[in-house]
């Protein structure tokens, strides 16, 4: 696996007691809420490319970043990272 600081390539990570694919969960919630990557990025003060990298699980996020993304979608972080939309 090739890695750089802040990047994870093709790795499933454990987040707050859930094992799985946080990027997929973020994408599912975002699309179910009818948001584009660009709209979410604007709400969290990031670029569309940043959101894309999150959804592809290529970035390792801090708890604060997960909290910011979930708040932008009107969700609690635990709900955002759950596998049920």
**Three-class HEC string of the chain:** CCCCCCECCCCCEEECCEEECHHHHHHHHHHHCCCCHHHHHHHHCCCHHHHHHHHCCCECCCHHHHHHHHHHCCCCHHHHCCCCC
Does 1 score more than 50 pLDDT?
no
Tell me the average pLDDT across 9-31.
Answer: 67
CA–CA distance, 72 with 6 (Å, rounded to integer): 22
pTM, 2 dp: 0.73
Note the pLDDT tens digit of each residue in 59-72: 989 999 999 999 99
Stronger pLDDT, 79 or 1, i.e. the higher one: 79
CA–CA distance, 63 with 14 (Å, rounded to integer): 12
Domains of the chain: 18-75 (1.10.260.40)
The DSSP secondary-structure symbol of 3 reads -
């Amino acid at each position: 696996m090739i890695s750089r600081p802040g990047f994870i390539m093709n790795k499933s990570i454990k987040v707050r007691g859930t094992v799985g694919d946080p990027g997929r969960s973020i994408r599912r919630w975002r699309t179910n809420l009818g948001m584009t990557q660009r709209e979410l990025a604007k709400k969290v003060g990031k670029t569309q490319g940043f959101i894309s990298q999150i959804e592809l699980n290529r970035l390792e996020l801090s708890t604060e970043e997960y909290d910011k993304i979930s708040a932008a979608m009107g969700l609690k972080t635990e709900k955002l990272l759950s596998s049920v939309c």
